[in-house]
Amino acid sequence: MKILIDTKENQVKIGSAQIKYTYSNNHLFLHTRDIYCISNDEYELSNTKSDSCLYQLIKDVKIEEIPNNLSISFLNIKNNKTEQPMERVMMPFQVVEFMKHNDNFYVIFSRFLDDYEWESNWTINYYFERLEEVTKDNSEIWVKGEHPTSTYTEEEKWLFMRIDNSILDIKSSLDVALAKLDNIEKKLEESFYGLSDYTKLITKWEKCIDEKSESFWQKLFEEYCWILAQCFSDPNIILQPQAYVGGICIDGKKGNYVDFTYKNAITNSINLIEIKSPITKLVGRKYRNTYMLSSELSGAVNQLIYYKDELQKSYYQNIDESDNKKRYMSNNPKCILIIGNLSKLNVDEKKCFELFRNELRNIIIITFDELLLKVKEMMRLFVKDKRDITLYR
């Protein structure tokens, strides 16, 4: 099915249907005059049933058979005047437009200036600022500013997508554009709810899940220090990374440093955290009907017990009464060990590991995948709580 423009009769021919078009000086459009526009609001048909929908008429048209400088728009989407899949378009957009220009095909999402549901200028301006931010690295998407046709003004609010030449027809182009729009909506949610850091962290964590360098993980947890605070049931804040706990001899050697110290935000009680790597072995060879613990795990547990002992012995030498931020109390500190991955263990190995760590009195062992799951759950719950603020209608 082809589309032909008849400038003499002011008609666009789509198959057997004749549709009258409007020039670009129509108040609904701010195109340059060489773009011929038709819309679902005020089109007239001949040689076809009057109740035919414009989208049904054009959805199977091949993009290569669409003439240049033609725009087909679907208006008032929020008023349910168009069929699916148009209703998937998120607020504040009310118009979907298909346009062929200079042999490039675009799907454009735009809005009316008299949208009273989004009447606050600062709200809509903030929305489009965030929209520009989350799409800035995509060379096929434009939001205001520079755009490929120069047919829209800077004051208009729109999202401009160039569709790849491999896409065959209008229906496929809309499917692609809506999929991109869904992805953009997720990024916008993260931006609005302040979840961008969560997403970046989770992506980085999963990408480096087999990173064996302990210093890498120490730097990550120092950058996102709130993660380790989730290991405690009471409110904790970071006190000092690479904290000295004692043990320096008279010659200044043999000092002991724990990876992190945290303290209770109310009582100032200090707690210790030691970081190993996700690939550190948790269990060793089989022993009778169970498994031995790995030397890495038992060594790390003993290391933390030793650090706790040194900290308590050196408390009065280490405490700085003059600095409130660094002041702490040593009241039987909690000790947390971040080590290994449970996903590396089979069922029997997990049982052995669980029996061991649950018997420990002063050491809490948390694996990297358990801690990652905590972060993901926090993000999921936060988004769930915010679902009353939605970008959808």
What was the pLDDT predicted at 104? 87
What was the pLDDT predicted at 162? 85
Do 383 and 193 contact (CB within 8 A), yes or no? yes
What was the pLDDT predicted at 215? 93
Q: How far apart are CA 270 and CA 244, in angstroms?
A: 13
* In the chain, where the domains are located: 3-192, 199-384
Q: How far apart are CA 151 and CA 304, in angstroms?
A: 66
H helices of the chain, in order, are 54-58, 121-135, 170-192, 196-207, 214-223, 226-229, 295-313, 315-318, 347-359, 368-385
The CATH number for 199-384, chosen from 3.40.1350, 1.20.120, 2.60.40, 3.30.1380, is 3.40.1350
* Both tokens assigned to 301: 């547990």
- Whole-prediction pTM: 0.58
Report residue 19: phi and psi, to 5°.
-120, 125
DSSP code for 344: G
- In tens digits, what is the pLDDT along the chain, a chain of 393 residues? 667 766 666 666 676 666 665 544 333 333 344 666 766 654 444 444 433 467 777 888 888 888 887 788 777 666 455 556 766 777 777 788 888 888 888 888 877 655 555 455 446 677 777 777 777 777 777 776 455 554 555 555 677 788 887 888 888 998 898 888 888 887 777 766 666 677 788 889 999 999 999 999 999 999 999 999 989 989 999 999 999 888 776 555 678 899 999 999 999 999 999 999 999 999 999 888 889 999 999 999 999 999 999 999 888 877 765 566 678 888 899 999 999 999 999 999 999 999 999 999 889 999 999 999 998 888 777 665 554 433 332
What was the pLDDT predicted at 384? 57
